[in-house]
Structure 1
């Protein structure tokens, strides 16, 4: 791998599953880098016109075409490198964490799609092509916390891109292939499986992930953001979550989830065309950063009056929630009279709002029940 990190000293390799959710994510490999001052600044990551990516057309599926489809996909799948801001360690040296995930070139202009958790918190991004070439990348937009999705842009010279397929046409038992970047292995990887579930949901980090394709392909650390393809070589899912255990702690094997291509299609189109996929932004929508999910156990331990809902811990200054008077400590139990609970968390209630719809939040505050209307910003 060439470029800005060639002089960094690798001192530790930590296999990290992001956010510590039950079941986990298909995560990234995180390494710790010590700076030896030999890094150079990357070039601008703006895609250049003219020498655009070549989008491979879909071909009728035959037994021999599957091999060709896999090899076309290998050229369109990249490794996403996310560097966190440098900080000084206990010894006084500057250190930096690096996370590795996967991504898919999805547009001839140089757009790469990946999972948001792969790039979250990064101060510097790059991608490594299947050829080993490293290119600078920049985050165009993301859809968190509503989906685990982000779009990057890279210089587009000589790229291959994948065509979006129709995930609604998938059938149970249909063969699919998971193609991912170089997580903790050398080079891109390929895993073959079948569709084992459609239109699935899975709770992760206080958000119910929806419209998921379940497969038994052996998805592993570093595969997040990789491609799930059909036999025609079309992208039908974005690798997102691998399940290791049930909520009760029972071991699980052969279950991974991908965000379906049809659920991502409008998000991709809006981000490429508009630079954003409009979502309701209140300034309290992020789990852990803005609110925590209330469970019966937490309510009992903290003496809360209601055993479900979202407990506000921070409100963004200048946000619509701040303007409406939402405060840290407010216990939100409903949105537009629809309950907030473990089955439908606060984020999913907000996700269901129509564009421009006011969110009437039922709030418990100091023994009183209030209904506070908040007009979300669409950002």
Structure 2
């Protein structure tokens, strides 16, 4: 795959908008790959001669430190290509779904960081460097569902990398630059903005994302996993989410969130050194796959006696939750006597556990309230 180019025709472009009108700012750029032998030619154009004999050549503006920082960042930002297995559509033709996002080379040894939703479900991964060269990639580890973060590895010849900056040093109004991969454009993109919020949180996919940097940079589809840099060219955030409307449905512009560099630093270090960032694993922690967050509307529709919590839908065989006797249909309303609700979902309660700490789950089951201790596995 190294050095390959793709002649596939992009015949469909679908921009996915996540539930709640908030989604990752990439992973939703999806193309359908069909024939490789179609080609296009530029339209004919007749140039109109322009007399420039008396014009003085323009003098380029002097390069600034920010110009240099952006140039270095462009060389370290990649496009992440995630392919799903080929399948046959309703017409009988074979097709393959391809999602595009961004990533950042964080180490010249070949480590690339991105958002987990960019690579989730992919059967094959690759990255396209700023030079246009495509290299194979493999997923080393991810931190889902606790954060939307993943680390990839690629062949390391001739890579440029970014240095992690101190996101705690950011100040409101400070200029920042969002640099992303190709996405739906023909090359890497640059957007300038300011820090408009610090230590922010936002709910996405039944998890409260924390320690976010809010900016007004014009982040778009395909930018997720890109770099947010300061004026020194240091990585202070990983582009993660763009907000299109409020929970009440009001339109929003100029609001995007990045995972802060300081929140990602220990995860990066552990994954590179150990191959994993240890988190409590019960076998019921993934929203939608293992449980559903209960809302008042859902409680009324399903006849539940409690208007919040997490309703278990599946339990991994052999997991600590299975060993403790947790069952599908159990309604978890508290962890260690701390309530589970939309403000602090089940995943966030688990995230707060200390290593080795037992999770005492308060469970409603068939009209009874039970307290079931579960010892999470750290993996």
Superposition RMSD in Å: 9.4
Q: Which structure would you say has the larger Rg?
A: 2
Q: What is the Cα deviation at residue 33 of structure 1?
A: 1.9
Question: Cα deviation per residue 1:247-280 (whole Å; 9 max; x = unaligned)?
Answer: 0000001110000000000000000000000000
Larger mean CA deviation between 68-77 and 53-62 belongs to 53-62
Question: Cα deviation per residue 1:72-105 (whole Å; 9 max; x = unaligned)?
Answer: 0000000000001111211222211000000000
Distance 1:48 1:287 in 2: 60
Tell me, yes or no, if the aligned pair for 1:333 and 1:363 is still in contact at 8 Å. yes
Q: What is the Cα deviation at residue 64 of structure 1?
A: 1.3
Distance 1:362 1:236 in 2: 39
What secondary structure sits across from 1:117 in the alignment? helix
Q: What is the Cα deviation at residue 57 of structure 1?
A: 35
Larger mean CA deviation between 98-107 and 34-43 belongs to 34-43
How many aligned positions are there?
379
Q: What is the Cα deviation at residue 210 of structure 1?
A: 0.1
Distance 1:213 1:295 in 2: 28
Distance 2:136 2:47 in 1: 10
| Structure 1 unpaired stretches of 5+ | none
What secondary structure sits across from 1:190 in the alignment? strand
Q: 1:188 to 1:337 in 2, by over 3 A?
A: same
Distance 1:193 1:316 in 2: 44
Tell me, yes or no, if the aligned pair for 1:201 and 1:209 is still in contact at 8 Å. yes
Tell me, yes or no, if the aligned pair for 2:180 and 2:189 is still in contact at 8 Å. yes
Tell me, yes or no, if the aligned pair for 2:336 and 2:360 is still in contact at 8 Å. yes
Tell me, yes or no, if the aligned pair for 1:54 and 1:108 is still in contact at 8 Å. no
Q: What is the Cα deviation at residue 61 of structure 1?
A: 18
Question: Cα deviation per residue 1:144-193 (whole Å; 9 max; x = unaligned)?
Answer: 00000000000010000000000000000000000000000010000000
Tell me, yes or no, if the aligned pair for 1:56 and 1:162 is still in contact at 8 Å. no
Q: 1:299 to 1:136 in 2, by over 3 A?
A: same
Larger mean CA deviation between 58-67 and 28-37 belongs to 58-67
Tell me, yes or no, if the aligned pair for 1:53 and 1:159 is still in contact at 8 Å. no
| Structure 2 unpaired stretches of 5+ | none
TM-score w.r.t. structure 2 length? 0.91
What secondary structure sits across from 1:321 in the alignment? helix
Q: 1:164 to 1:354 in 2, by over 3 A?
A: same
What secondary structure sits across from 1:161 in the alignment? coil
What secondary structure sits across from 2:22 in the alignment? coil
TM-score w.r.t. structure 1 length? 0.91
Q: 1:306 to 1:232 in 2, by over 3 A?
A: same
Q: What is the Cα deviation at residue 28 of structure 1?
A: 3.6
Tell me, yes or no, if the aligned pair for 1:240 and 1:258 is still in contact at 8 Å. yes
Tell me, yes or no, if the aligned pair for 2:70 and 2:233 is still in contact at 8 Å. yes
Tell me, yes or no, if the aligned pair for 2:5 and 2:134 is still in contact at 8 Å. no
Q: What is the Cα deviation at residue 10 of structure 1?
A: 3.1
Q: 1:181 to 1:7 in 2, by over 3 A?
A: closer
